Amino acid sequence: MSGFFPSLARIGTYRSLPFAVAGAVLTVPVSPFALAAAVSVDADSRVRALLALVALAVLMGLLGLLGPVRRGGIGLANLLLGTAVPAPAGRPDAGTRLRSGLWLALHTALSGLLLTVLAFLGLGLLVPAIWLAGGQDRISLFWDDVPLGGWTVPFGVLLLFGALVLLAGATRAFRAATEALLGPSETERTALAERRAAVLAQRNRLARELHDSIGHTLTTSTIQAAAAAELVEADPAQVRRALGTIEEASRSALEDLDHVLGLLREEPATKEPTRTLAEVDVLAVRAREAGLDVRLAVSGPVAALPATVSREGYRIVQEGLTNALRHAGPGAVDVRVEAGPDRLAIAVVNALPGDEPRGGRRGLTGLAERVEALRGALEAGPDGPRWRLSATIPLRPGA
């Protein structure tokens, strides 16, 4: 309640007025049927008026059972009330339809009541206007003739304040009713949560792909370009080899980037580049040309590995070599790939990066997510005087 009165200074507090007008407009197509039902009853005018209101509420409730009406109601509330009710997901169940029907009946009923009260308050504001204009000395008010005077000014201010408070309270009531009656059901909340989880998983996968492919290429190309700049006059042949490596790595990165951009644009025809452990020697060659002394040892039927395992294994070796190049600089790196009958084991071991702290944990986090998705285990950290990145991925359930 402490924040209620300060909110009276905000224009958004009075969103209930256009929302109530919209509710009154919604009753126009249905009103003739409600009036026809009331007129058909043999009763006095008061009973007929009450029957007309009841018939109107019932008809609006039945209209609210329709799915498109609920969707339109959500859009109308979000637009006029500033709510953030999510759009319906799938076909509504019976309970959701009932809540939607109750909302439409309540919306139109409260709208009519609010506009009626505001109309009476507006008539009351004529009292100070009549006195200030000097039109007459007395007015029929409160079922009696009341003399006009200075009291009409505070009376008008009080009525205006009451109208503002009424609109502010109605805005809160409309918002609460909309979120309670038009908000997602448990089934829809579950569907929304699943969609958000799927989107988040897709974003994480795209982030991993960009980090692994583009990050590796940029690291290799930067070091190759720096080396080429130093040897441009002393060893032109080495410069040409470095430029060739940069070109080849950039072309590979462009393929990865094109694939990721295709996923972002929802282009299902975009093919994913195939990078598998069968190409691990290419990674070793590029790393050697960038200054690493890569000692590669591959054993076992690597070519027979499942495609998913082989692709993730390629990314593990790529990240290990990139980190060695980025953090430790040129030096010896031992890469071991063992494909056994039950598991795939990968280890990348290089010198520690001196006294500087090892940063950039984003790549290792991505690798951990990749390995965990395959029920494997990843370890990364100092191993004596060297840094070891090792991963074990089972190839059979329970291995």
Q: What local confidence, expressed as pLDDT, does residue 275 receive?
A: 77
Q: What local confidence, expressed as pLDDT, does residue 75 receive?
A: 92
Task: Indicate whether 357 pLDDT > 50.
Answer: no
Which tops the pLDDT comparison, 292 or 191?
Answer: 292
Check: CB of residue 112 under 8 Å from CB of residue 23.
yes
Task: Indicate whether 31 pLDDT > 50.
Answer: yes
- Asked which of 78-87, 266-275, 373-382 is least confident by mean pLDDT, the reply is 266-275
Q: Is pTM, for the whole model, over 0.75?
A: no
Task: Indicate whether 341 pLDDT > 80.
Answer: yes
- Asked which of 26-35, 153-162, 273-282, 329-338 is least confident by mean pLDDT, the reply is 273-282
Q: What local confidence, expressed as pLDDT, does residue 273 receive?
A: 57
Q: What local confidence, expressed as pLDDT, does residue 45 receive?
A: 82
pLDDT tens figures, 289-324: 777 899 999 999 998 898 888 988 988 998 888 888
Most confident of the ranges 17-21, 92-96, 276-280, 367-371: 17-21
Mean pLDDT of 322-328: 80
Domains of the chain: 6-184 (no CATH), 192-394 (3.30.565.10)
Q: What local confidence, expressed as pLDDT, does residue 362 receive?
A: 63
